[in-house]
Amino acid sequence: MKERSRNPATKKIARERIEILFDQAKRAFGAHPERSNRYVELARRIAMRQRIRIDREYRRQFCHHCYTFLVPGKNMRVRVHRSSVVVTCHACNKKTRYRVVRPLVQST
Ligand SMILES: [Zn+2]
């Protein structure tokens, strides 16, 4: 088995790559949604290889069942139900629930 890099900078680079991939996924979605799914796949693979978590900001941008890149109002539905956010993926019709940990801070 290949020796893994012990350099702490590797994980930082991996996080940056994930960030770039999600940015590209967002931009490609309009014209080529299948490319967005590919970017999600690549980002997930990097995260798994480096054993890092994908940041919450990005983790919510894809379906956890079929790994389709999700865009609100395009291929997903967001509903709030009993203090959790329910995201329905229109590609596989499965639901992912996110707990709302802190009450939303009121702006105004
Ligand atoms: Zn799905």
Q: What is the pTM of this model?
A: 0.84
Which residue has 């009993």 as its token pair? 82
What the block records as the tokens of 9 is 């900078």
The pLDDT tens digits for 7-49 are 879 999 999 999 999 999 999 999 999 999 999 999 999 999 9
Q: Which CATH architecture has domain 9-99?
A: Up-down Bundle (1.20)
Neighbours of 63 (CB within 10 A): 23
Distance of CA 95 from the midpoint of ligand 1 (Å): 8
Give the pLDDT confidence of 54-96 residue by residue, as tens digits.
Answer: 999 999 999 999 999 999 999 999 999 988 999 999 999 999 9
CA of 107 to the centre of ligand 1 (A): 32
